[in-house]
Amino acid sequence: MHYASRPALEKLNMKKILYILFAIAVLWFVFLRDNQVSLGPGVFAPNPPKQIKIRSPKIISFKGYSITPLRKFSIKAKILSKRNYSFGRGSDLSPVDLALGWGKMSDESILDFIDISQSSRWYRWKTNNFPIPRKEIETNSANMHLIPSNKSVETLIKRSREGDIIELVGKLVKVKAKDGWHWTSSLTRDDTGNQACELIWVEIFKIHKI
């Protein structure tokens, strides 16, 4: 019986590690890199979101939740980041968060200086060199929890990609479960931090081809 020497085993293991790292790099290039949309410099979504007060809201029963519309809402914006959620409270209702940017936050020449990420239903950004004032970053971007009103809307939301220019129409809402759990949308443009995200009942969702 023959045994491989320790150096030979270490060399073999190193080859396996390098092969795995190479395979991961290839998968990233094929599946993730191509999943991002680049439009180049320019403001592709110049206008802020629109909100209109609802005078006599009608409660929507959906997936065991009571949904109360608070404002009519519409926006055209650039997807800065996208995150899918399949676990955690509310993920059955809102399976996708989009971090959206408008105004100068829809311009890739500005976004190149800003690192953007999402986790735990939060949107975070950081920069070492502010390309625009902090307040403009904060008021021209937001994390939005999307509640698809039907399967076709849900399919389009899941088909969207980082970098896309999208347009959605719906309502900012308050959600309540039978056990008392609740989730309420922000209604202002200048808040930050906890409870600053929009919770949107999405009735129309479009992906613009530029």
Please compute the mean of the pLDDT values over residues 196-203 and round it to a whole number: 95
- Overall size of the chain counted in residues: 210
pLDDT at 10: 58
Token representation of residue 60: 């929507």
pLDDT at 189: 77
Please compute the mean of the pLDDT values over residues 42-69 and round it to a whole number: 96
Q: What does the pLDDT look like over 114-125, one tens digit per residue?
A: 999 999 999 999
What whole-number distance in Å separates Cα of residue 202 and Cα of residue 102? 18
Residue 4 has pLDDT above 70, yes or no: no
Q: What is the pTM of this model?
A: 0.82
Please compute the mean of the pLDDT values over residues 10-35 and round it to a whole number: 59
Burial of 57 (0-12, 13-18, 19+ CB in 10 A): middle
Please compute the mean of the pLDDT values over residues 73-85 and round it to a whole number: 97
Question: Could you give the percent of the chain with pLDDT greater than 70?
Answer: 87
Spell out a b/e string for 173-186, using b for 16 or more CB atoms within 10 Å of the CB, else e.
Answer: bbbeeeeeeebebb
Q: Which of 2-16, 21-35, 37-51, 142-156 has the lowest mean pLDDT?
A: 21-35
pLDDT at 31: 46
Residue 20 has pLDDT above 80, yes or no: no
